[in-house]
Chain A
Amino acid sequence: MNPTQSRTQTFAGAARGPVMMIVVGVLFAVDHASGPNIARTWPVILVALGGMKLWEYGARKS
């Protein structure tokens, strides 16, 4: 593993938390602005989490 790969892998891991915060915030903001209810949109959190994990896998493989 060269230093660039290690950095990408770490970056994906480090960015996961902030991105998840933003996703949760957006879902609640949409809910409070009379948009789709969080009770219906919560699976987006799982999709986002899966996406971030895939990004980490991809970064590790390359």
Chain B
Amino acid sequence: MRDRSIVGPLLLMGLGAVLLARNLYPELPLGEYISNYWPYLLILWGLMRLGEVVAWSAKGDPLPSRGVSGGEWVLIVFLILLGSGVHATRNFPRNFNVRVPWGDVDIFTEHYDYPVALDHTAAKTPQITIEDFRGDITVKGDGDNMVKLTGHKSIGAMTKESADASNNASAFEITGDENNLTIRLREERPRPQVRISGVLELSVPKGASVRATRRSGNLRMNGLDGAVRVEGRGSDIDLEAINGPVTVDGAFTGSLRARSLSKPMNYKGRNTQFTVEKIPGELTVDSGDLTASDIVGPMAVTSRSNDLRLTGFTNSLNVTLQRGDLHVEPGNLPLAPMHIRSRSGDIQVVLPEGAQFTMDASTDSGDISNNFGGGLQLEERGRRKTLKGAAGSGAAIEIETSRGDISISKGSLLSAPTTAGPSSSKDVVKKSVLEKVEQ
């Protein structure tokens, strides 16, 4: 007699382990894991079933007429529907460029606000830690040696009495010494049916370093000289006039805007990662699409399925793009090396008049248009096209795409040391657009 299948018990144990992990580590982004990795469960399930059939066959046991039972097929269809549904829902805002409020929707509850006003003395360059709580926070650097927290605590509850009880059992607080301060929400008996969030403004010494762990809501930081680190998950992030290194690492569904950053920035989002040396201008990541103007490299970008538009950048650029269009327009001469690799999507490179470079561009399936001229040779071999050659002697520009068109054209500089260029990035974009229209 053949042994009973062990796949069912193993799957049950796996499901239990996943739900247990979720309970022990509530910050675990389980939805994201399910959304991205559910097909591997199907593969694992199939492999275990196949392994069983092979083992029974090797032992000479009678084999079942079908390796997967009718009930299992029903479960498999449910798994496919659930997995595809979660994946489509989580990627919906990115694919359709629409933002859907998600995760913080309260049904049948009223919101009751309670004021918050706290302060604490601080050193000139303290380390500020903001622990995760729901809601929005704005962090501002100013001249005082004080940390001040103002705003309101918002409690979503069925009744005013319930909200009052939760208000008495919870408080925002500033703890620690002058050099090391923590801002957190203390809850004595957290109740799942009551949701506490904050809309807060935090004023800190200008020299402060800030580390914020987010659970939801928007974060704004302005005028800080220390290092900034943001992690967790949430909505919009807005960073301006930060003079310390910036790291953003987490699953943020809203937009990222960074302006006037004078130290390196490192961003690790769900679909896009980048490092950049400085951002004197502005960089935004909105619905996954990255747009940057007037930035200082070296810059390295990796993106899964979004469009990139980089104008007025200096120093080297390294882009790895899976799916999405790319527009690149360097901001000064001489050009720095550029290495662009894309699996699918059009690549448009606008180079300034008088640029010197060595070009090696290729597409496996698509067209190459050269409006720059110079000593560039277009070759076709089957569906593969290459554009090679040099315009003077300069930095290497390497472009490689599997599927998509490549366009090289002439544009203008944001700020050329050798020529009197236009004064603002808007002028440059306008001028290069006009030039393209004329062509």
Residues of A8-58 at the interface with B, using a CB-CB cut-off of 8 Å, are 10-11, 13-22, 24-29, 31-32, 34
**Are A21 and B63 in contact, with the CB atoms below 8 A?**
no
**Most chain B beta-carbon neighbours within 10 Å: one of A14, A20, A27, A29:** A14
- A contact residues, total (Cβ < 8 Å): 22
- Please give the distance in Å from A61's CB to the nearest CB on chain B: 19
**Are B63 and A18 in contact, with the CB atoms below 8 A?**
no
Given contacts A14-B65, A32-B87, contact A21 B343 (CB under 8 A): no
**Are A25 and B67 in contact, with the CB atoms below 8 A?**
no
Given contacts A22-B50, A25-B39, A25-B46, contact A10 B63 (CB under 8 A): yes
**Are A28 and B84 in contact, with the CB atoms below 8 A?**
yes
* Bound-complex Cα distance A16 to B53 (A): 10
- Please give the distance in Å from A21's CB to the nearest CB on chain B: 3
**Complex: chain B residue closest to A36, CB-CB:** B344
- B contact residues, total (Cβ < 8 Å): 38
- Please give the distance in Å from A10's CB to the nearest CB on chain B: 4
Provide the main secondary structure of the chain A interface.
helix
**Are B80 and A19 in contact, with the CB atoms below 8 A?**
no
Contacts of B433 in A (CB 8 A): none
Q: Which of A7, A19, A21, A31 contacts B45 (CB 8 A)?
A: A21
**Are B40 and A13 in contact, with the CB atoms below 8 A?**
no
* Bound-complex Cα distance A27 to B46 (A): 13
Q: Which of B43, B56, B66, B68 contacts A25 (CB 8 A)?
A: B43
**Are B80 and A18 in contact, with the CB atoms below 8 A?**
no
Given contacts A11-B57, A14-B64, contact A34 B305 (CB under 8 A): yes
Residues of B38-93 at the interface with A, using a CB-CB cut-off of 8 Å, are 38-47, 49-50, 53-54, 56-57, 62-68, 72-73, 76, 80, 83-84, 87
**Are A29 and B46 in contact, with the CB atoms below 8 A?**
no
- Please give the distance in Å from B141's CB to the nearest CB on chain A: 39
Contacts of B47 in A (CB 8 A): 18, 22
Q: List 11 A-B contacts (CB under 8 A).
A: A7-B63, A13-B66, A14-B67, A16-B66, A17-B68, A18-B49, A21-B45, A22-B50, A24-B42, A25-B44, A25-B46
Chain A residues within CB distance 8 Å of chain B = 7, 10-11, 13-22, 24-29, 31-32, 34
